[in-house]
Structure 1
Amino acid sequence: MPANDLITKHCVPCEGGIPPLDLAAATRLRQQLHERWKIGHNGERIEARFSFSDYWRTAAFVNAVAWIAHTEDHHPEIRFGYNECTVQYWTHAVKGLTENDFICAAKVDALLP
């Protein structure tokens, strides 16, 4: 499935009760994202770092990521400073990764050229 298929999908509410993706499935989905996304925390999270030229561009990016989180009802951990931002996704209800994390990451990738 090309990355743009992830972009056209929407997150499905997750209340738990399902297993997280195993490392092989997470790796297949990660391959559809920009190479900046890394699987970490023992296969339980994906994370990417983004660099910008100034605070205004960084803050604008953070606001756009927040809008994605709002519209998909799936919320990342976001850390940012003057010209750098780290976005981390995992599905809290399953204590690991689900397709929702990759859908949102693909939408974040689409924010940048």
Structure 2
Amino acid sequence: MTRPLRVVFVCAQNKLRSPTAEAIFRDTPGWEVASAGTNRDAETPVSRDLLEWADVAVCMEKRHRDILCQRFKGALPDERILTLGLPDDYEFMDPELIVILRRLVPRRLEGARPRGST
């Protein structure tokens, strides 16, 4: 049996968008989820250890992806760092954000597998 797909959701402060994604996908069968922020004063700052744990990082904006690729080069292959293009316009658990995440995230992760699996 393969282990669950490990997904880390990333925004800047880890207060609104990425924690919302973590909350709504927490009980997704076959997934383990976490969230973090790129800012050093984020609720949970992104770390090399977290990215090495993850199979996929799902960034809310391109700038978050750019930061991960620069600051943590090699912790997660670039092709496993995805971008949703969601601006910082939402509150935590915003109903519109939930609808968007539920539509985008499963599509973006379709076919994703744990690192090292065939």
Q: TM-score, normalised by structure 2?
A: 0.29
- Structure 1 or 2: larger helix share? 1
Q: Which has the higher contact order (CA 8 A, sep 6+)?
A: 1
Q: If the length of structure 1 is used for normalisation, what is the TM-score?
A: 0.30
